[in-house]
Amino acid sequence: MNFPNAPVVVVGLGQLGSVLSEGFLRAGYPVVPVLRRTRPEALSQITPEPALVLVTVGEDDLAPAVSRLPSAWRSKLGLVQNELLPDQWLTLQVTDPTVAIVWFEKKAGRPIHDVLPTVVSGPRADLVGEALDALGVPKRIAPEEELLEELVAKNLYILVLNLAGLEAEGVAGDLLAAHRPLFDALTGEVLELQRALVTSAARGSAARGSAAAQLDDDRLRATLERAIASDPAHGLAGRSAPRRLERNVDLARRLGLTLPTFERLAQRFLPSAGAVPTAGAVPTAGAVPTAGAVPFETPASPKRPT
């Protein structure tokens, strides 16, 4: 039997994978699930031409999950992870993915909660857009030249809220008033790290300049404050916060950045923080591992915390 629409493969049926699967089904696309126990190579024999292969696993599982996918599927890849930057997919030999910068929250047992319109970019953005429309999620299809800044904007939001929440009581709206010094310090440090990651990953000085020029700090700060204002009751640190801190302290140290607030939080909340390699251990910016690659190199790293 032939379906009118090619199927969408969804890798990882957690919170986001499940709700987006529902969106594709409502939009009329069959969904083919890839679970941890699934053998993607075998599945690709019966699903050789999916419309999209959407990888909805967590940050630490991204590299191993993509590495298992057959090459025929890689050209159809879609990504949704927080903390995502282009170097992560380029390191995995993925050149032109569709990316959804998910600005809604989906927690177990709770409905979708929108913070800002979800931004989708890339060759299959319209298809992801159909699923979001079917779910009633506001969205914006963004041109490729806006993708980098949109990624960094979401990374800034998730990292500032999660890291601040390790130390500060309250909700997102409290950051702008009661916890302003912590908010300002973290915003500056996350922006410094994101900019360093983007430029160190670019090959050659022209590419570095062009990558850096795509990031406008004032616009990024404005988007952060707009997202907080749009959902001031948003919770701060979730279950992922300690692991986000660990990943990003590790990246900052490897890049040789001095980020005092990151370091203070690491001393307080990461018992093994002293064991992370220091800047001197990895002198070449081009060799800095991406966030997604870190778990391969630090096997002791935990799975996403619960």
φ, ψ for residue 26, nearest 5 deg: -65, -30
Q: How far is the CB of 52 from ligand NAP (least distance, A)?
A: 16
- Copy the structure tokens of residue 93: 């030999």
For the CA atoms of 118, 124, 130, 136, what is the dihedral angle to 10 degrees? Answer: -10
Site string for ligand NAP, 81-120 (x = CB under 6 A): xx-------------------x--xx--------------
Piece of the chain touching ligand NAP by CB under 6 A; list 28-36, 194-202, 247-255, 270-278: 28-36
Rg over alpha carbons for the chain, rounded to the nearest Å, is 19
Site for ligand NAP in 217-246 (CB under 6 A): none
Question: Which residue stretch of 11-19, 41-49, 87-95, 285-293 sits at the interface with ligand NAP (rule: CB under 6 A)?
Answer: 11-19
The verdict on 301 binding ligand NAP (CB under 6 A) reads no
Segment 53 to 82, residues that bind ligand NAP, using CB under 6 A? 56-59, 61, 64-65, 80-82
* Residue 30 and residue 10 in contact, taking contact as beta carbons nearer than 8 Å: no
The 3-state DSSP class for residue 31 equals strand
Pick between residue 165 and residue 199 the one whose CB is nearest to ligand NAP.
Answer: 165
By beta carbon distance, the residue nearest ligand NAP is: 14
Distance CA 24, CA 53 (A): 12
Centroid of chain to Cα 184: 22
Least distance (Å) from ligand NAP to the CB of residue 76?
16
Given a contact cutoff of 8 angstroms between Cβ atoms, the answer to whether 203 and 286 are in contact is: yes
The strand pair at 118-121 and 98-101 is best described as antiparallel
Comparison of 119 and 185: residue with beta carbon closer to ligand NAP = 119
Considering only residues 5, 6, 13, 221, which one is a binding residue for ligand NAP as defined by CB under 6 A? 13
Half-sphere exposure of 275 (CA within 13 A, CB side): 7
Question: What is the spatial distance between Cα 217 and Cα 139, in angstroms, rounded to a whole number?
Answer: 23
Span of 34-42, 189-197, 202-210, 214-222 interacting with ligand NAP by CB under 6 A: 34-42
Residue 151 vs 185, nearer CB to ligand NAP:
151
Torsion over CA: 152, 156, 157, 159 (sign)? positive
Residue number with CB closer to ligand NAP (12 or 289): 12
The kind and range of the H/E element at 198 are helix 180-201
Could you list the residues that contact ligand NAP (CB under 6 A)?
A: 11-17, 34-36, 56-59, 61, 64-65, 80-82, 102, 105-106
